[in-house]
Amino acid sequence: MSAPANANDLLAEIERIGADAERGGYTRPVFSSAELELRSWFESHASARGLDVETDGNGIIWAWWDVSDADRRGAEAPGADRPDRRGAIVTGSHLDSVPGGGNFDGPLGVASALAAIDLLREKGVVLRHPLALAVFPEEEGSRFGVACLGSRLIAGIVAPETVRALTDEGGRTFADVATGAGFDPSAIGPDTERLAGIAAFVELHVEQGRGLADLDQPVALAGAIIAHGRWHVRIEGRGDHAGATRMADRHDPVVVAAETVRSLRAHTLVVDDARGTVGRIKVTPGGTNVIASAVDLWIDVRHRDEDAVRRIVSEVTAATERAADAEGCTVVVTEQSFSPTVSFDPALRSRMQAVLPDAPVLDTGAGHDAGVLADVIPTGMLFVRNPTGSSHTPAETAGPEDVTAGVHALAAVLENLLT
């Protein structure tokens, strides 16, 4: 058998795919040529390891290391044509990115999973459970606006007909884009049978904060994901000439949008440890000498207490509506996604803690597929130190030694769960 792959080398293999010269970093939206190339990269690595690779109806890739009949004890003999995949242990992450993101958010968990398999094989670990590596599509929600779309679909948290109608920035529907990329959009939806076969899912991810850097530790276990949601704010006014239109005659949606941004900051600041962001604003038509006719903006709010998130959003909505009234504009606020606070499975975490006694337990403000799936199966997460503490930017990083420490931690956890 060849030497175990180094996860740093695996990440280096993909460091050109989806590189974004304009923004810096990587832009790898779901079903883009970059994301499809990354999926093929993963599939070829999985196949080279003899894993049985399949893509389910939701576009999630599963690469199986099955238990050989000889090693399966006490279970009924599986059919010759179909391996018994009940009680599976799953690890993996995602390969899509935000616009101008880093090379670690997502790919680190996928590369580490491949490298961890190599370590387990080198050690001669005999499986008592099947192991699957999973790659989830549209984790970031950067194309169709709904984060963790693949895991939400399989878990039945979002309706397939809703997803098929989602549109990207170019106005193309999920159904059209998926079809164009070779997927069948009529096949998306809940898959309770597959989920029922999973005993545990462990996702390794680069830390998206400075917790580990401050504690001087390479690897942590996840405690909870704080509640977060996204809202789309559509403000409509009246487009006109910037020179010919008197100030008193204007119905300018940009003025209303400014109040949305200001009030979000104000209402977030008064709630301890809350986070509120407007990171995307679209002004229509977007001319320097043109009063806008419409503004679309998106707000992202997070806090450990989900009621606090709801309160902030309703206060911002009220402030925006008052501003819209004063300006003679209209406003519609639509919830795009909401994820309550997620506490990862305590029994699984204790088991992981027994394997990694030095690893601290950290909460996170970032959403993950493991957080969505925590509703339906036992899930846990490992975080790898990110010295800059930044994520969703090219500044996101992980040192080579920490990447390797993460692989060893993941392999140790998997060994414990698989044997």
Cα 369 to Cα 63: distance, rounded to the nearest angstrom = 17
Least distance CB 11 / Zn ion (angstroms): 14
Least distance CB 95 / Zn ion (angstroms): 10
Least distance CB 42 / Zn ion (angstroms): 15
For Zn ion, the closer CB: 153 or 264: 153
Instruction: Identify the CA nearest to 397 among candidates 5, 8, 4.
Output: 8
Least distance CB 285 / Zn ion (angstroms): 34
Cα 140 to Cα 174: distance, rounded to the nearest angstrom = 15
Least distance CB 19 / Zn ion (angstroms): 18
For Zn ion, the closer CB: 4 or 92: 92
Least distance CB 397 / Zn ion (angstroms): 14
For Zn ion, the closer CB: 46 or 366: 366
Least distance CB 27 / Zn ion (angstroms): 15
Least distance CB 96 / Zn ion (angstroms): 9
Contact status, residue 293 vs residue 253, Cβ threshold 8 Å: yes
For Zn ion, the closer CB: 263 or 364: 364
Binding stretches for Zn ion (CB under 5 A): 105-106
| Residue 364: both structure tokens together | 């996170």
Least distance CB 30 / Zn ion (angstroms): 13
CA distances from 133 to 62, 90, 199, 348 (A): 6, 6, 14, 18
For Zn ion, the closer CB: 85 or 94: 94
Name the closest residue to Zn ion (Cβ): 105
For Zn ion, the closer CB: 116 or 324: 116
For Zn ion, the closer CB: 142 or 260: 142
For Zn ion, the closer CB: 58 or 208: 208
For Zn ion, the closer CB: 112 or 293: 112
